[in-house]
Structure 1
Amino acid sequence: MSLLKTFPLRAAGGKTIQIPSVGYGTWASGDTSWAKDATLTALKEGYRHLDCAWMYGVDEAVGQAIKESGVPREEIFVTSKFWCHFGHPDNVELCLDKILKNMGLDYIDLYLAHWPCVWKPQSREALEKARAGPGTDDESQGQISTADDKPAVDWEHSTSNVAKGKGHEGSYVPTWKAMQEMVRKGKARSVGVSNFSITELQELLPHEGDVPLSCNQVEVHPWLPQNELIEFGREHGILISCYSPFAGQKQDGATLLKDVTVNELAKKNGMDVGQLLQSWAVQRGTVPLGKSATPARIKSNLDIHQLSDEDMKALNDLALPNGEGRTVDPGDGWGVSLFKN
């Protein structure tokens, strides 16, 4: 039995738009030469949701893939994110303009804040010239680093939770309002956040107005199911999209893709492990953003199917305590845990 192909996503004016329930992740570590061909393969195999970010450095490649695919723009859901040094309210639009120019698009469908903190840029001029991707450093990205090689934090515009952890006062509300303006200007159809805790979501919810907080993108997989955060999102109409749905490698070398239970369930259901984990995510009402550069895996990761209650429970039971299943380290450049409520 097939699972839902799309989920409703809250948009401006009380409307909803449809977001494909499986996305193709375009995050790149190091070399980005795979990006155009892999994204083109994904589009040809039927993906209609691309998850991107300025910091990934693949906007031009993804934009070229969209152009070469022949798929009408209106059939593709494009998500992107601004990096922390674009987080000042005056710079939110600048990053989106750079994304649109590099991708060759007139609008994106979902614009996210990448993290709940804001860093100080070198200058506005540096941001205008900034580029991301392999071979770029803080200077070429337009960022400032302090003497201890950590970002210079703009506490005033970081979330209250982040700023308070270091004895400062902050508010993400001005940045949030700048993001809402991107919808009113027609440059984005919806806006949301990434890596926000419940406390940080609560800071923004009173300021939704006519442009709602549509999405929170966080790490989610059976080791780290994020049950409380997903339930909070469900209660407030915030869709959860899931990066690293296959997890990564823990310090002891273990990987979810080689977990005995995961492999047994995949074999039982006639799936590969990627299909199984993507199916688990969609069945929970969340949007997985699996990434692969291998054509066969790109294809299979999209082919999701409903799992039995028994199999869902077996995957849910893999959750590790106290967030130990986290494989993407948020770091402590701002001195607090981003995932504490």
Structure 2
Amino acid sequence: MTRLYLHIGTPKSGSTTIQNFLLANEAALPFRSVKAFGGLTATKLRYSIDNARSRASYANSWRYAKLPQFKDITKGIWEAAQSEVSATPDDHRPFLISGEQFYWFFDKDSDAINGLHASLANLFDEITVLLYLRPQVGFVKSLYSQQVKGQTRSTVSYKDFVSDRDGLADLCDYSGRTDLWAEAFGDRNLRVIPVNPNNYPNGNLVVDFLTRVDAEDPGLLRLAQEHPRSNVSPTFFQLNLMRRGNQLGLGRKFLRRWLISGLTRKLGAEKFPDTYDRLIRDVSRDGNRKLNAGYLRDFPVKLPE
């Protein structure tokens, strides 16, 4: 019997910390990965669906080369995975995939999510989906930060980023997205965890992740406890400097080297304004209440209502 643990994010909820630990300690993990999918982080699975986001990402990744037919790549991924999993000796170790790209690329595309389940069910007998949910105020601010400092190189102000109430409500709709994954994979196969140190063993996210994928070897848990956090976020002042740099077309290396420095860290506002926190909580409340009464009912700290 083959089992798969599928960790799908969400973004800005510690996925990078988890994945860095997994990749740094891959040889010690009691899991198998599928090379045809791109290994533990399964980066190729974003191309297993045919929608606008997936195609745009695929085209961008082949920017300087001849673009193969998208459908041929998609078909090839699943055929290679079928051959690989079938040929892998059964040593009773489960398979593991950890990638936040699922949340973005599958989004609310129920056909794509159902299609992913159908394809994975042809390879694995049991599939458990893990989903970490960060309180939306922190999620929105962290996502905005990523869009300014990352490859998107956004020039949008934070005020404009949150001003569209309908768009903000959709962004914060954890409940609607969770329902789609539950409908496809079965609600009993979802493990949904609210992001908060008080919900983790010893307050450690990576330790929590390992216990939820039934990897409780003492040596591995000790490594997880010692694993450092992955990111130091720029201050709000630094983000605004970067946003101005994006508007001027300055290179990312320049922005990171000079604008995200120890000196600029001491200047201006450190934290995001709390002006829009209430709006974020308002658009999140109904969905959070539903999740708290269901998947999250046994956690000491739930999502804010």
| TM-score for the superposition, normalised by structure 1 | 0.30
Q: More helix per residue: 1 or 2?
A: 2
| TM-score for the superposition, normalised by structure 2 | 0.33
Q: Between Structure 1 and Structure 2, whose CA radius of gyration is higher? A: 2
Q: Which has the higher contact order (CA 8 A, sep 6+)?
A: 2
Q: More strand per residue: 1 or 2?
A: 1
